[in-house]
Structure 1
Amino acid sequence: MRVIPLSETSADMVDLVGGKAAGLGELIRGGERVPPGFCVTTEAYRSGVIPQAEIVYAYERLGGGPVAVRSSATAEDLPDASFAGQQDTVLDVTGTAELIAAIEKCWDSLHDARAAAYRDAHHIDHDAVRMAVVVQRMVAAEVSGVLFTANPVTGCRTEMMVDAAPGPGTAVVDGGAVVDHYILDGSDQDGTGCLATAQLAELRGAGERLQRHFGCPQDVEWAIDEGGTVWLLQSRPITTLFPLPPDTDKPLPRVYLEFGHVQGMLQPVTPMGMSTLKSLVAAMLAALGIRAEIVGIGGRLYGDLTDLARSRSARRRLVKLMAVDFGPRAQAVMQQVLADPRFAPSKDRPERRRGADGASLRTAVRLVVGVVRALARPDAARTRMFDAIERLKLRSAAPDGLRTAVERLRFVQAQESASSPDDIVSPIVAGMLAAALPAHLLKGVAREDEIHAVLRGMPYNVTIEMDLALWRLAERAGDHRQLLLHTPPDELAARYRQGTLPDIGLAAFLDTYGHRCAAEVDLGVPRWDEDPAPVFTMIANYLRVTDPEQAPDRRFARAAATAEATLHQLVARARRRRPVRGRLAGFLLRRARALTGLREAGKFAGLYRLREMRRQLLSVGVDLTSTKLLDQPGDIMFLTLDEVRDAVHQNVDHRQTVASRRAIHQRELRRRTVPVALLSDGTDLEAIQPTLAAADGALTGVGAAAGRATGPARVVHDPATAHIEPGDVLVTATTDPGWTPLFLTAAALVTETGAVMAHGPTVAREYGIPAVICVPDATRKISTGQIITVDAATGTVTIH
């Protein structure tokens, strides 16, 4: 079939008629008013010859006259790729000669530069895409526009948005005219501008029908002719919306705070990793006195803080608690929530949980005692901590006797419920308190950047030690510099596994740090000892450092010396002006230098357990692959433990489930921004906050590591492939410890999320490089190569 009527197309014919025609066919089948037309299918495109006779026949049956000719590629109007404006549309085409030329123009647009770039950005195979073409009778539009069945700016699913302008719809979609803008929230709409009240109501009704029919929010093009008839010209999914929170039977609205950035990751978590990460975050929150239900939204971790926001007792401390680890963006949205009358405090109704309350009290008492001990004798606390980590490492190893999938699964389930010993938790909490309290004690005496300076060059940090160990490895590998600099990392990793790579000391490094990686808290992500390619990328970046003064070990030593000198000056000044507070602040700052570096150790220890769980699950995956229940062992990471249990015990085939989840995961991997807070109706709370303009066009964030630096920007989305030159300013959405080797050669750090005490800023301070965090859309507003200045004192990033 090379030419078929639109009325015969449907959603299951995308490969033949493309996304646009398939969507129009569904509209017709649903009884909507659509201009009649036909589709020149992909079979004609494959042959490369326009079927002129069939097209002329279909055009004449349509009655001739002016028609709209529009592209309808197979990769178009998809759930995660709209291709809006990427391929050609030709309007007011009259006559067969013009029609044939317009169809050829649409065919050619499939491979023009803008469409190819769009496919590259969405990882769509160029060779797999085919072009169909839609031909429809032109509507003589008196007014036209676009209807979104959910608010595309805020994400709110209870609002629709309409943009309208007199004349054809190109005035709206091309951005070439002033449009009338309407928000439809279910209340009566005033018919101002080019649309009457009844027309707005008719559009809202159409939107409700289409959303029900397609099962997701829609982007709808429409036109109203001179007789007042509404025609639907297109309906496709809104591709930019962040997924909704899961359904709940709790009172609405709910507010959800994103927790992934606390662990330095905004990429989606695999289904297998989600359950483990939920437990980890819940334990972290419990240590801060926060009880919250942890849910997955779009593969990211969110906490339901609604009950805390509505609690008279909890809401008083909620904003302050956000400052500990969640950062200024979280603080701002939480203040916004507390001011919202829908989250007004209600009478607290404590649950009767005597056993749980008693256990919580005992845990709290143990924690307080442990913190006091650590502050009193930090050296002894460190010794106890590292002894506990070594014991945990040994306990994490699987016993030799595991042979069957059932035994391995039982081991994984036991590891999932394990908790961190008090000797690991207490020194970390003590260090965090010691670092956070001096800022309050020294108000009016010390500047914030001075206190940050004291926290530079921090000892006893396992992540810093890892980065410096990798630097020493790179120094020793100088004889193989050309090989390591000019061979692709994947090839180097393959040669290492084959045993054909010169010995550069990598085996010893991986023996100590191979259980780490970027996004390491996700059980579904390969560790460095599985895939060392990212390590070779970092080694190459280190080998580009040629200035001895920029050597990371020297920079770290300078940062430590500056910190000690600043501490001495600060304490002396504080004791002169406020003797009691000065002594207490001096004590805490010294304890901070003794304990705050331990913050990374708790996570470092927990990763031993995750690595062993991953190893055993992959072995189970091998068994399930051999029995044709999975296609490959790694697919097991797209299942839950319960689903793996069903596969192991009941031979349940999960291959279709895995394929669906992989596709969603790949789509979410391409998402560059994640809402810091959501309402249950999908509203992105930051999107409805008033924005403040920065002075002189600078981007505004929060200074998190003291200093000022200017250099070329290097926008990085994946540390495994990052090419960093010495002096580059690293610009990224967020960071975790797997990113920190890049800091050794960077001049400064800029992130879109984070907290002052989060991993990235902490390590930046310890290396002595300035950092500005929470800069909205930094990775989009800054381009690689632009010269930028990062000023932590003012919390700004200036593009020159």
Structure 2
Amino acid sequence: MTYINNLGDVGQGDVAMAGGKGVGLGGLVQAGLPVPPGFVLNTAAYADFVEANRLQAGIRELDSLSPLASPQDYEDASNRIRALFAGGTMPAAIATELGAAYRLIGDGDAAVAVRSSATAEDLPSASFAGQQETYLNVVGAEALAAAVTDCWASLWTARAMAYRAREGIGPDAVRLAVVVQRMVEADAAGVMFTANPANGRRDQILISAAWGLGESVVSGTVTTDDVVVEAGSGRVLSRRTADKEVMTVVADHGTREQPVPAGRRRQPVLDDQAAAELAGYGTRIADHFGAPQDIEWARAGGEFFLLQSRPITALPEPAADAPDTWPVPYPKGLYFRASIVEQLPDPLSPLFADLIDGSVSRSLRALMAGAIGKNVIGEDDVGLPTINGYAYYYYRTSAMLRVTAMSLAAMRALIRGTAHMGVAGWREYSHPRYERVIKDWSAKPLGGLSGEELLEGVQTLLDAGTVYYTAVQSIIPVAATSEISFRAYYDKLVRRNGDAPAQTFLLGYDSEPIRAEKSLYDLAAWVRGVPGLAPAILNAPTPALVESQRTGVPPAAMDQALWGLWRPRFQDHLGRYGHAVYNLDFVCPVPADDPSPLLETVKFYLRGQGTDPHERQRLLAARREEETGRTAARLGPRRRAAFLRLLRWAQNAAPIREDALADVGLAWPLLRRMLLELGQRLVGSTVIAEPGDVFWLRHRELRSAVEFGLAAPGAPAAVAITGADRPVRAAAIEERRMLWRGQAKASAPQLLPESRWMERAFGSMMPAASQQQPGDVIKGTGASSGRVSAPARVLRGPEDFATMVPGDVLVARITTPAWTSLFAMASAVVTDVGGPLSHSSIVAREYGIPAVLGTGVATQRLTSGQRIRVDGDAGTVTIERGPRPADGGSA
């Protein structure tokens, strides 16, 4: 039996024999990089040791703990398994080969490093870093054999066993190899990431360095110097030199820690030249393995040695630095993140930014011209420019003054429904016109349209949607005024101690988001009635169901007959409600494109979670009518008439507002299909790499491609186009995405330019509170009463919906009607943007859960899993520290 393999003979396919660390080192040797000489004692040695000492049955029995077992249970099991190894005897054949290999690298008395190399370690999917042991400065064959046995036993440390249990890896699926290398008595050491883990940038290399051996860096016992180097050029981009108090050094046996000499504590471990040299090795390693790497390195006598290389796991997508200044493009104007901008919480994609600016400007000028006169707003007076990618409503200062002076005329137009304003304008003009535009373009087969026609359709549909949204904005003041008027009258002139709050009279009505929720609940109820269908859907991974919905091919967990029943029913739901937007930017899929969140909601109901929305609505309506009758009965004729008149006004307006908002995205499924059709054609012409890249083009670039015939059906590959009209390659698209991710980390000011007078004049009108909120209490607007203590779940968009756990507090920048399905799982709602009359507040009140809206900073300050207390009465969110409150949760 051969138990020894030279490092240079270990290839990428040898994980089962040499473990992840052995494979990584083998790759470094084959790439010609400086690696200390050594060998691998392969997994066959581990297997034969376990068999010879009859350990497997005991291991299997002790390593059968649940992932939820206590840390002490894991410690007890680990100690017992490691005692089995300590009592074992190394077979003579293994000891003989190990001793011979050791003598070849050091005449039998060399100091070596002995490192564990597990078969489920240093993999792209899970690193298992630090789960097994390393022994340094091992001298002599007897000490080496003991260190090897200790390495084998370290496969069963408590932390390794718990890690594998969480990952679903059983005891029979793992083995351990051992890497033995000549010891490098390093004067400096550390780790190097060939991509920056802080921002995901693949063009930046992060080096952490300390004096002495690298174990202090890996274990985290020393503060390191951190140097960021530009990949390729070797230019140092930034450095942080730490006060390094301790270092790990070689001792007589093993290692020890000692103080860093005073003169070296604040001295950089690597100068710029050394950092560039090391980064050059990092670039070679990443190129060799074809993926970003996490590398351990050491330096001795001015030479670098590479001790380990493994793939970086969980590397974020590359992101630029978050912006910290907010320069305005036009100085003589005011900038607001309100109105339509509330539906644009993230930085805009380039194509949407280019198209929406002019579209909003045209729709707003047309509406205002019809309502208060053609000369009030000029062509350059309003717009929707972006600052650091974020959309802002822009008003030239003079135009803002003219509009303010005409506010009474605008109010009269609103009440009369002039220029498709107000409820009547929405019902009789805006909504029918929007539907007609969509119907006309839906009748045209996309494959037969030219590039020019597709681009025309995109602009026409976006303009129709913008006009519709502008008209919907005129409904919001009606709804707000009606509810505020009713609440004021009721609270001041009607309500007595012990009476129901005003919101009781406004709940239990149907609206489009509530109808969509009931549709999903009814779909789940129907599924339970079809034999075999519920388990088939629950067992099918959601991505597989989404793909099957798109292709028509049933997933593996479902037969054709069940699929034939399910697919049309779910498709019918998507046809009615799949246009609800999570975000107005058309780069974001709507449920019709990606129904993953809706499928998760169906599964939620199939598991018996949530409440029946029909019954909830019935109870709310019954209480509303009971309270209305009781209150009206005790009022005199005049107060009763005023009470009922204001009540009916508020009751009629609120559901209409939700209905109107829910249909803003009616054109979005068709609009996105048109853009993706253009994208598919541009892929065929080699202008972009994939259809979705079309969203990251500038409008002029897309227009140029269309004009050059590159978006025509069957167009040839792009030829030499120069100047601004050249094809956009993958690097430019990725650079824009990287910039967007950096911008998304910022918290955009509500008002620009930032000044005290702007805050005093307009701050109270903004849908978000101040971003300057230090401390553990975040203030917002209480929009639904109640108090809850529960974990936060910060959701950036539908891509995060699957992480929502029933009972979590839903924390988001905004919620639109498309988010309604999550309210069934949430114990409370917290948003950055919104107020007491926003969608979030209305739905939260329907569900009877607390809501604090318009905090401005919740998604920046809170993290998922963090326990918070939401007080919907006080309008506060408190970050809880220390022990849980005595009430144990909800209040």
- Coarse TM-score class (shorter-chain normalised): 0.5 to 0.7
Whether 1:597 aligns to 2:658 is yes
Residue 498 to residue 765, structure 1, CA distance change in 2 (3 Å): same
- Provide, for residues 506-565 of structure 1, a one-character-per-residue CA deviation record: whole Å limited to 9, x for no partner: 565343224458789666858548868934843752894797798342476589889999
Residue 97 to residue 501, structure 1, CA distance change in 2 (3 Å): same
Partner residue of 1:416 out of 453, 458, 467: 458
Residue 392 of structure 1 is matched in structure 2 by 437
Shift, 1:20, TM fit: 5.3
Residue 37 of structure 1 is matched in structure 2 by 37
Whether 1:796 aligns to 2:878 is yes
When the two chains are superposed, the root-mean-square deviation of aligned CA atoms in Å is 7.3
Whether 1:101 aligns to 2:131 is no
Residue 781 of structure 1 is matched in structure 2 by 865
- Mark the structure with the bigger radius of gyration: 2
Greater shift in the superposed pair: 377-386 or 133-142: 133-142
Residue 61 to residue 586, structure 1, CA distance change in 2 (3 Å): farther
Shift, 1:731, TM fit: 4.0
CA–CA distance in 2 between the matches of 1:781 and 1:172? 28
Residue 609 of structure 1 is matched in structure 2 by 670
CA–CA distance in 1 between the matches of 2:537 and 2:401? 55
Q: Is the 8 A contact 1:17 1:74 kept in 2?
A: no
Residue 332 of structure 1 is matched in structure 2 by none
- Provide, for residues 453-495 of structure 1, a one-character-per-residue CA deviation record: whole Å limited to 9, x for no partner: 69975979533442244446667x4982886655425769757
Residue correspondence of structure 1 range 628-639 to structure 2 within 5 A: 636-637=691-692
Q: Is the 8 A contact 1:702 1:775 kept in 2?
A: no
Partner residue of 2:270 out of 202, 223, 229: 202
Partner residue of 1:68 out of 96, 107, 114: 114
Residue correspondence of structure 1 range 23-422 to structure 2 within 5 A: 36-38=36-38, 40=40, 56=99, 58-63=101-106, 64-71=110-117, 76=122, 83-94=128-139, 95=141, 96-98=144-146, 100-101=148-149, 104=152, 112-116=160-164, 134-140=179-185, 168-175=213-220, 177=221, 179=223, 193-194=245-246, 196=264, 199-200=267-268, 202=270, 205-211=273-279, 214=282, 221=296, 233-234=307-308, 242-245=316-319, 278=353, 292=385, 303=389, 373-374=413-414, 376-377=416-417, 378-383=422-427, 384-400=429-445, 407=449, 412-418=454-460, 419-421=462-464
Partner residue of 1:770 out of 850, 857, 862: 850
Letter of the structure 1 residue corresponding to residue 716 of structure 2: Q
What runs of 5+ residues in structure 1 fail to find an aligned partner? 295-301, 318-347, 351-356, 569-584, 653-659, 679-688
Residue correspondence of structure 1 range 704-783 to structure 2 within 5 A: 705-710=783-788, 728-731=807-810, 737-743=817-823, 745-746=824-825, 748-750=827-829, 756=835, 760=840, 763-765=843-845, 767-772=847-852, 774=858, 780-782=864-866
**SS at 1:764 equivalent:** helix
Shift, 1:393, TM fit: 2.5
- Provide, for residues 725-766 of structure 1, a one-character-per-residue CA deviation record: whole Å limited to 9, x for no partner: 9x83454667654441232x3463346866558865664356
**SS at 1:650 equivalent:** coil
- Provide, for residues 640-674 of structure 1, a one-character-per-residue CA deviation record: whole Å limited to 9, x for no partner: 7879949942369xxxxxxx99xx9xx99xx9x97
Whether 1:649 aligns to 2:715 is yes
Letter of the structure 1 residue corresponding to residue 878 of structure 2: T
Residue 534 of structure 1 is matched in structure 2 by 598
Q: Is the 8 A contact 2:662 2:817 kept in 1?
A: no
Letter of the structure 1 residue corresponding to residue 602 of structure 2: M
Residue 471 to residue 148, structure 1, CA distance change in 2 (3 Å): closer
Higher-RCO chain (CA-CA 8 Å, sequence separation at least 6): 1
CA–CA distance in 1 between the matches of 2:838 and 2:450? 34
Letter of the structure 2 residue corresponding to residue 424 of structure 1: Y
Residue 745 of structure 2 is matched in structure 1 by 675
Q: Is the 8 A contact 1:139 1:223 kept in 2?
A: yes
Residue 619 to residue 649, structure 1, CA distance change in 2 (3 Å): closer
Q: Is the 8 A contact 1:146 1:163 kept in 2?
A: yes
Partner residue of 1:429 out of 463, 470, 473: 473
Greater shift in the superposed pair: 94-103 or 144-153: 144-153
Residue 528 to residue 293, structure 1, CA distance change in 2 (3 Å): closer
**SS at 1:649 equivalent:** coil
Whether 1:511 aligns to 2:575 is yes
- Percent identical: 23
Q: TM-score, normalised by structure 2?
A: 0.54
CA–CA distance in 1 between the matches of 2:22 and 2:41? 9
CA–CA distance in 1 between the matches of 2:136 and 2:119? 18
Shift, 1:143, TM fit: 6.9
Residue 36 to residue 370, structure 1, CA distance change in 2 (3 Å): farther
**SS at 1:399 equivalent:** coil
Residue 722 to residue 207, structure 1, CA distance change in 2 (3 Å): same
Residue 53 to residue 486, structure 1, CA distance change in 2 (3 Å): same
Residue 551 of structure 1 is matched in structure 2 by 615
Shift, 1:391, TM fit: 1.4
Partner residue of 2:6 out of 1, 4, 26: 4
Q: Is the 8 A contact 1:752 1:777 kept in 2?
A: no
Q: Is the 8 A contact 1:106 1:133 kept in 2?
A: no
Residue 589 to residue 203, structure 1, CA distance change in 2 (3 Å): farther
Residue 796 to residue 712, structure 1, CA distance change in 2 (3 Å): closer
Residue correspondence of structure 1 range 443-454 to structure 2 within 5 A: none
CA–CA distance in 1 between the matches of 2:13 and 2:475? 59
Q: TM-score, normalised by structure 1?
A: 0.59
CA–CA distance in 2 between the matches of 1:390 and 1:24? 63
Q: Is the 8 A contact 1:524 1:637 kept in 2?
A: no
Q: Is the 8 A contact 1:4 1:41 kept in 2?
A: no
Q: Is the 8 A contact 1:144 1:222 kept in 2?
A: yes
Letter of the structure 1 residue corresponding to residue 745 of structure 2: P
Shift, 1:791, TM fit: 1.9
Q: Is the 8 A contact 1:712 1:729 kept in 2?
A: yes
CA–CA distance in 1 between the matches of 2:800 and 2:227? 43
Q: Is the 8 A contact 2:517 2:613 kept in 1?
A: no
Residue 344 of structure 1 is matched in structure 2 by none
Partner residue of 1:462 out of 496, 512, 525: 512
Shift, 1:713, TM fit: 5.9
Residue 694 of structure 1 is matched in structure 2 by 776
Q: Is the 8 A contact 1:119 1:126 kept in 2?
A: no
Whether 1:480 aligns to 2:554 is no
